[in-house]
Chain A
């Protein structure tokens, strides 16, 4: 535990995001006790890495914490064997081929259209997109924060991106080539 840890700051941070963490955990685990377990794991991670969290600008902190609780929830699912490890090569091959076919189409979407479509993405997908596409973090870095294998992170990113494009198409923003 860092010696300089400020108890009041820790309390404030946990209290600010506790409800959000529970909400995300519950949306993944669908069970109150499991969700609280995940919040506990995430809170411990936050306490043990408090300095790192403090270094993140305030307006971005929430997304990191959201990604931490998401990872804690998924780890819990893994422990309960309710979750599977993806075979990235097989999965990537399929999605990448789909994505490359769509690349020419998606480049025509406007920022506003993408913003609208982002609203329909789940919090988990949004967080991944935020860290990967906006913060330009590498899958390995995201994997470190979330405590999930890099393989899985790559799959999640590809899936999130694919879902975003599906939303764009469904909302009628599809452009014919």
Chain B
């Protein structure tokens, strides 16, 4: 047996173990929002859903611009404020079936109710911005501010996204776990959490 034959045998014997090692990941990488959206769009395209090709770099750029614009809008006036009496948290929770997200200007009352921001409690919209991609609303009650941004990223569908039927994942955009990514059969939604909302007891 010459060296090449021995090498071949050694490779054959060790291949399975090596592959297992290669697949072992100490800390699972959380792919960026841009990557997940690209993957989703690409897979949609395979099933005939989306026709447009978008590169990961372009998506990353678009997201950065959108999020930056949102944050500038929310900007200096509203910072991350803890709202102690908000009824619902943004935590991803398996039984969190009541939370659904909708384009705000069409269903403002429902959202206010879900986020415990009704006018009778003194909450008022301070700033609002809605476009095709995102909705940014800043609410104010005396000295308390709540700002949240909602990015609905989808080509041809607007609708409710129930966490009951979707995969909800906490993700990091700027600060640790500052956003939630909801992957639904028909929509991908990113909820950017500005301020830590806590569940009211």
Q: Which residues of A contact B (CB under 8 A)?
A: 1, 5, 7, 10-11, 14, 17-20, 22-24, 26, 32-33, 36-37, 39-40, 43-44, 47, 59-60, 62-63, 66, 103, 106-107, 109-112, 114-115, 118-119, 123, 126, 129-130, 133-134, 136, 164
Contacts and interface: CB of A to CB of B under 8 A. Distances in A.
Contacts of A112: 10
B31 A18 contact: yes
Q: Is the interface of A mostly helix, strand, loop or mixed?
A: helix
Contacts, number: 99
Contact of A37 (B2, B12, B25, B56): B56
A62 B23 CA distance: 9
Given A5-B46, A7-B46, A43-B39, A19 B28 contact: yes
Contacts of A10: 43, 46
Interface stretch (B13-21, B116-124, B183-191): B13-21
Given A5-B46, A7-B43, A118 B14 contact: yes
Nearest to A99: B3
B142 interface: no
Given A19-B28, A62-B23, A134 B47 contact: no
A164 B163 CA distance: 52
